[in-house]
A and B are shown apart, each in its own frame.
Chain A
Amino acid sequence: QKEVEQDPGPLSVPEGAIVSLNCTYSNSAFQYFMWYRQYSRKGPELLMYTYSSGNKEDGRFTAQVDKSSKYISLFIRDSQPSDSATYLCAMANQAGTALIFGKGTTLSVSS
C-alpha cells in the first residue's frame, strides 16, 4: 500500500461546479498536509497548507483534514476553466524535510 493514495481522475466538471478532490494516507506520523496545483509543463504551485486536523479556507478553496480517518480533501467552489490542472496532495511528518506526494488528480473545467 502506498503511503498516499489519490484518484488520478480525470475529473471533468462544468464551469461553476463545486469540485471535491481527496487523498487518503496510511502513515499516522503525517502532521502537515498540502495541496499543490500543477499546470502542464510547469512546476507544482502551493495552494494550501494545513497543520494537523481541521479546515482552512482561502478564497474559493477549502482544505479539510480528518486525521482520525486519514483523509484529506480540497474543495473548489465556483470552478473556473483556469482551474484546469493537476492537483497534488502532499504530506510531511514532524521533521518535514521530505514531502510525500499523491500521484495527482487531473481536473478539467469546461466553459
Chain B
Amino acid sequence: KAGVTQTPRYLIKTRGQQVTLSCSPISGHRSVSWYQQTPGQGLQFLFEYFSETQRNKGNFPGRFSGRQFSNSRSEMNVSTLELGDSALYLCASNPGGNRVNTEAFFGQGTRLTVV
C-alpha cells in the first residue's frame, strides 16, 4: 500500500509570495491533517479535513488555508509569506470517520524556506 505522498519536497519562496502544498493520503483514508514543524514550536496542528469539509482548525492566521478534493487529496495554501513561515509542513493521513485520529500516518513533509 502506498504511503502518504507530499509534493514538492522542497520549496524556496520570497516574502510576500503565496505557496500551495499538496498531499495525497493513503488509499481509502478520508481524513487529512496538516501540521507545521519548527525547531522553536515543534509540531503544531493547522487543520483537518474529512470528506471535503474542514472538521477542525488550529490557532493559525487566516493566511493559512486548505481544501480537500473528492478523491481525498488535500492542498494547503499560505498567502503573503513571512520569514516565520519557514518550516517543515507535514500531512497526516487517517482512516477518518468516527475514529479518533490516533493512527495518523505522516508523509515526509515539504520543507518551505521563505527568503
Contacts and interface: CB of A to CB of B under 8 A. Distances in A.
B42 interface: yes
Nearest to A45: B106
Interface residues of A, number: 25
Instruction: Give the interface SS of chain B, mostly helix, strand, loop or mixed.
Output: strand
B114 interface: no
Interface string B3-25: 01000000000000000000000
A98 B33 contact: yes
B64 interface: no
B95 interface: no
A42 B90 CA distance: 10
A98 B107 contact: no
Classify chain B's interface size: 20 to 34
B42 A101 contact: yes
B56 A44 contact: no
Given A42-B108, A43-B108, A44-B106, A99 B101 contact: yes
Nearest to A93: B100
16 contacts: A34-B102, A36-B106, A44-B90, A45-B106, A46-B104, A46-B105, A49-B102, A49-B103, A92-B101, A94-B100, A95-B100, A96-B101, A97-B33, A97-B50, A98-B56, A101-B35
Given A43-B109, A97-B101, A98-B33, 6 more contacts: A44-B90, A46-B103, A92-B102, A99-B33, A101-B43, A103-B41
Interface of A: 32, 34, 36, 41-46, 49, 51, 88, 90, 92, 94-104
Interface of B: 4, 31, 33, 35, 41-45, 48, 50, 55-56, 58, 90, 92, 100-109
